Amino acid sequence: MKLKRYLAPTMRQAMALVRDELGDDAVIMSSRKTDSGVEVVAAIDPEAQAYNAQPKEEPAARSSYYSPEYAGQANAMSSSGGPEIQKMADELQAVKQMLENQLSGLAWSQSETREPEKVALIKRLVKLGLGWKLAQRLSDEALASGNSDQAWSNVLAQIEQEIPVDSRDVIEKGGIVALVGPTGVGKTTTIAKMASRFVMRNSASQMALVTTDCYKIGAQAQLKTFADLLGVPVHVANSQGELYNLLSSLAGKKLVLIDTAGISQKDIMLSQQFTKEQPGLNSIRNYLVMSAATQLNVMQDVVRAFGQVGLHGCILTKVDEALQLGHIITVLIEHRLSVSYLSGGQRVPEDLEPVKVRDLVDKAIVLGQQNTQMDPDDAFRLGLGREITDAQ
């Protein structure tokens, strides 16, 4: 057994040294904090290392005498040794997971000792639901001025500054607006709320509703019910050609709202969306409708997928069902996606309001304080564990 000691300023750098010199088969025997950083003792078995190097030389020699007869014997040996090999692989995976947990715990303890202000800020941000990378960046920038007493206020001010918001109300701006998004996020109800707000300020004769949803049972009937109450006409487009011919006939309307079919972000039909931006045909403004109660990784997938059709902004629904709003803030900032409205109920049109950044951040803080399901220490360790794993 070959033992070697490594000294480095951070655990990530120490692990990089171990891997560069001893390879992936190295085992961490111990680790501790030092005045200059961290000390790691790693080990490697020379015999195992030599054994692992042998297969690299075998293919050329094996090809000279390989035959179907030997193939049958090899397959039999492989099948007979399968359970043992799988058991060994499972044990190695368990050991790797244990080491990662130990390293993340050590890194967490080391970070709390060396950068207590930064750790405290990150914990508060991840409790709001912000993504790990965004929380790190905001914390670094807030502490860069050297005034740790104002760090939290600086972070909140930076968040408010970075959240993109539509400079003008979508309804007042008018034009042709299409709501796109996954199934079940409330596109049709949001269309009804927007239409109601428009009719309250303008004439019903100045707007029209269009639906391209030919898949969901009752979708057209639901929209027609809303439209009849408002005295607004509803038109159906079953193809992109029908849609553009219809929009040409509605050119005199101040506002045209298009209700599209709900499509999963993984659906190949997404690329065939009727309202997809095309060269020379950019009069339709697509707004992504997202549920605020969606998990962060799912939100990221949704925004990336529907970005194919060209997005001018987004509308957040089911805000009243969300346990956190940091996920939404993360997506808006990282994807530079402007937000237009917040919707938090079924009332038409009361439960639809233009976004005020300060109110959005305040709601996120309140929900973070009320959220007792997330332990900020656990979230911090999880983020560090992922960072260490990515570095390896």
Q: Model pTM greater than 0.75? A: no
pLDDT tens digit string along 40-73? 777 776 655 555 555 544 444 444 444 455 445 5
Residue 97's pLDDT is what? 64
Greatest Cα-to-Cα distance within the chain, rounded to the nearest angstrom: 86
Three-class SS state of 111: helix
CA distance linking residue 286 with residue 189, whole number of Å: 16
Contacts of residue 288, Cβ cutoff 8 Å, sequence gap at least 6: 180, 181, 302, 303, 306, 311, 313, 314, 315, 337
Give the domains, in start order, of the chain with CATH numbers: 1-66 (no CATH), 170-354 (3.40.50.300)
CA distance linking residue 289 with residue 294, whole number of Å: 12
Residue 384's pLDDT is what? 46
Helix (H) or strand (E) holding 196: helix 187-201
Q: What is the residue type of 387?
A: E
Contacts of residue 237, Cβ cutoff 8 Å, sequence gap at least 6: 210, 211, 212, 243, 246, 274
pLDDT tens digit string along 145-198? 766 678 888 899 999 999 998 878 888 888 999 999 888 888 888 999 999 999
Sheet with 27-34, strands from edge to edge, namely 2-8, 37-44, 27-34
> Locate tokens 């607006």: which residue?
177
Three-class SS state of 352: strand
Region 258-270: what's the mean pLDDT?
71
pLDDT tens digit string along 286-336? 999 999 988 888 999 999 988 888 889 999 999 988 888 999 999 999 999
